[in-house]
Structure 1
Amino acid sequence: MEFALAPDSNINRATRSDTLGTVIGDFTLDDEAQAKSGVGLNLQGQGYFRLGIQPGADLLVRASTSATLYREPDFNDVTVGVQAGPQYAWGGNQLTFSFGPSWRWYGRDPYSMTIGGNVSWQRPTGKRSQIRLDGGISHVDNKRNALQTADDFTLSASLDRAFSARFGGGLQVYGFREAARDPGYSLASGGASVYLFREMGRTTLVGTMAYSHLEADERLFLYPERRRENRYSASIAATLRALHLGSFAPLVRLKWERNRSSIEIYDYRRVAAEFGVTSAF
């Protein structure tokens, strides 16, 4: 569970430009289509239970939610999901299948409904490291724009390693394909991220850096060129367990994002912070 106040320089990940270049001239953007700053309440939670089926096999059921809430509800972003499936363990391997729906609301209205499944395989690669492979297929029903309804395909691989009992890190690479009804909204992306963690007394520090590249299949008729993007992000977080209250401990996190896009409306900068509490049961 995590609860945090989140000051953000760009709560809607929008452009700072007041115009949008199109094939028929520049359009003036509405205020809500431009970058807005604000302070929100960031909530995240996940719960699960495991039911034994037979030796080496369990039924795993997981529910999760995330929400960012603002004084202006037009920018509220809420997601709820449930997944269930069997999990098998043998010889250090762990294979998990999961399937279920998720729902997203943006502002006051439903944004999308997703139904899909995932498979995950994990195994140690020594006493200090492990590898994990994940793949997923889902169908996304976009409630705002039927042309953005799509089938999504994801594949990722990650390696985690402990350099010592109090210091470690990891690397992840991924690929993503979205096949939408309109080829202008269909896209492919891929990227990589790295993280390091360090235990300093009763404080845990975690730093991350990530890069991804995105390309759309075709140009939307309104825009002068096809959508292409390079996104960079970084964050640093500290969990201060020395100041805990029960199972809850203070959390401080700083985030930075830069998305460079060939389409003005997707080009943005963002700096955000989170000040709250977190707990793992």
Structure 2
Amino acid sequence: MGDEDAALRELRALRSASLPPGVAQFVDRMSATLQANKPLGFQLEFGLAPDSNINRATRSDTLGTVLGDFTLDEDAKARSGVGAMVRGLAQARFPLSDSIGLSARASGEANIYRDNDFNDITLDLSAGPQLRLGRTRLTAEAGVTGQWYGMEAYQRAWRLSLGGTQPIGSRSQLRVDATARWVDNKFNNLQDGHGRSVRARLERALSPRLLVAGSLGLDRFKAEDDAYSTRSWTAGLSAYRDIGRITVNAGVDFGRLRSDEQLALLPESRKDRWARFQLGAVFRNLTVAGFAPVVRLVVERNQSTVEYYDYKRTRTEFGISRAF
């Protein structure tokens, strides 16, 4: 009927009752859909994150060069730790007509450790128009991202993005995004440059409780120094399964990267083989005051011809999440 606030109130009242699992899932999905269309929305997640490699660094003691092996400093090697993890997202929508609107987003992520040298903080701001043509949704966006590492400015990036979402039948949806970015690296001017990327993601509901998604991305980055210029691709497959009021997700991603040239001191150019596995769950059946427990396990492996980029990492997250 168009009265979203009243509908959300009724759904909240229903969620407070003891509902059969199938009805509870329907209520949760309807509520999530209405939340996504709210003029103003917030999401917050925080917790603890034990990590075997907080700096994504190598475990090798040396770096092979054309002059022989160089010994790596302890700070350049893998360090483990337990950090406080915080993620947040705020978004606003301003409808101009039934088919045209404006949106703005602010998001951030921080991993804070006892040793401030390894603190990693990222903030992102973006805004742009949205257009609906029948069942097709088109978006354009301008944004800026800032990253701080060790409490010092690490890099800043500006981007322009175009995207489109198209339903395919009643069970599938395809989204394609193309992005241009410009990067200013505060630690090394030779890594300044510009990049182009394109990414496609196809989602399909196999049943009311099971959704699978596949993705493919291509990226080209041209830096001031060709040794830092790269070409890469990534691919992934993920699945989401509702078990009562628990949502379980699993995903695997892998990719390849290669640099245009080698650094003068290195015997060969950089070539990476990267893989990532994630398993997580959101326990909405244990919600208290709107906050639901979240658990994740992430395993990463990057195999590189340059020891400096070769690393292994296992990270677990224990936290709580809520949408407002």
Q: CA deviation at 1:245?
A: 1.3
Residues 1:42 and 2:85 are matched in the alignment: yes
**SS of equivalent residue, structure 1 residue 214:** strand
> Given the alignment, which residue of 131, 145, 148 partners 1:102?
145
Q: CA deviation at 1:54?
A: 2.6
Question: 2:99 maps to what in 1?
Answer: 56
Q: CA deviation at 1:170?
A: 0.3
**SS of equivalent residue, structure 2 residue 323:** coil
- The code of the aligned residue for 1:122 comes to T
How do 1:256-275 residues align onto structure 2 when only pairs under 5 Å count?
Answer: 256-275=299-318
- The code of the aligned residue for 2:232 comes to S
Q: 1:133 and 1:229 mapped to 2: Cα distance?
A: 25
Q: 2:167 and 2:73 mapped to 1: Cα distance?
A: 52
**SS of equivalent residue, structure 1 residue 36:** coil
Question: 2:259 maps to what in 1?
Answer: 216
Q: 2:164 and 2:289 mapped to 1: Cα distance?
A: 34
- The code of the aligned residue for 2:68 comes to G
Question: 1:120 maps to what in 2?
Answer: 163
How do 1:113-152 residues align onto structure 2 when only pairs under 5 Å count?
Answer: 113-152=156-195
Q: 1:113 and 1:102 mapped to 2: Cα distance?
A: 6
Question: 2:27 maps to what in 1?
Answer: none
TM-score by length of 1: 0.98
> Given the alignment, which residue of 219, 226, 241 partners 1:176?
219
Question: 1:154 maps to what in 2?
Answer: 197
Count of matched residue positions in the alignment of Structure 1 and Structure 2: 281
CA distances 1:226-272 after superposition (whole Å, capped 9, x unpaired): 00010011010010111111221000000111111000011111111
Q: Is the 8 A contact 2:120 2:151 kept in 1?
A: no
Q: 2:323 and 2:193 mapped to 1: Cα distance?
A: 34
Residues 1:186 and 2:264 are matched in the alignment: no
Q: Is the 8 A contact 2:217 2:233 kept in 1?
A: yes
**SS of equivalent residue, structure 1 residue 74:** helix
Q: 1:252 and 1:55 mapped to 2: Cα distance?
A: 39
* Percentage of identical aligned residues: 43
**SS of equivalent residue, structure 2 residue 268:** coil
Q: CA deviation at 1:113?
A: 1.1
Task: Kindly report the root-mean-square deviation, in angstroms, between the aligned alpha carbons of the 2 structures.
Answer: 0.8
Q: 1:152 and 1:77 mapped to 2: Cα distance?
A: 23
> Given the alignment, which residue of 46, 49, 55 partners 1:6?
49
Q: Is the 8 A contact 2:211 2:241 kept in 1?
A: yes
Higher strand fraction (1 or 2): 1
Q: CA deviation at 1:55?
A: 2.9
CA distances 1:207-233 after superposition (whole Å, capped 9, x unpaired): 000110000000011111000010011
**SS of equivalent residue, structure 1 residue 242:** helix
- The code of the aligned residue for 1:199 comes to D
**SS of equivalent residue, structure 1 residue 67:** strand
Question: 1:18 maps to what in 2?
Answer: 61
Q: CA deviation at 1:98?
A: 0.5
Residues 1:245 and 2:288 are matched in the alignment: yes
TM-score by length of 2: 0.86
Q: 1:191 and 1:50 mapped to 2: Cα distance?
A: 31
Higher helix fraction (1 or 2): 2
- The code of the aligned residue for 1:192 comes to A
Indicate the larger mover: 203-212 or 100-109. 100-109
Q: 1:125 and 1:277 mapped to 2: Cα distance?
A: 34
> Given the alignment, which residue of 269, 277, 291 partners 1:226?
269
How do 1:84-95 residues align onto structure 2 when only pairs under 5 Å count?
Answer: 84-95=127-138
Q: 1:265 and 1:253 mapped to 2: Cα distance?
A: 27
CA distances 1:156-198 after superposition (whole Å, capped 9, x unpaired): 0110011111111100000011100000000010010000111
Deviating 4+ runs (over 6 angstroms): none
- The code of the aligned residue for 2:275 comes to Y
Q: Is the 8 A contact 2:239 2:249 kept in 1?
A: yes
> Given the alignment, which residue of 111, 136, 140 partners 2:154?
111
Q: Which sections of structure 1, spanning at least 5 residues, go unmatched? A: none
Q: 1:154 and 1:4 mapped to 2: Cα distance?
A: 32
Q: 1:252 and 1:61 mapped to 2: Cα distance?
A: 29
- The code of the aligned residue for 1:148 comes to Q
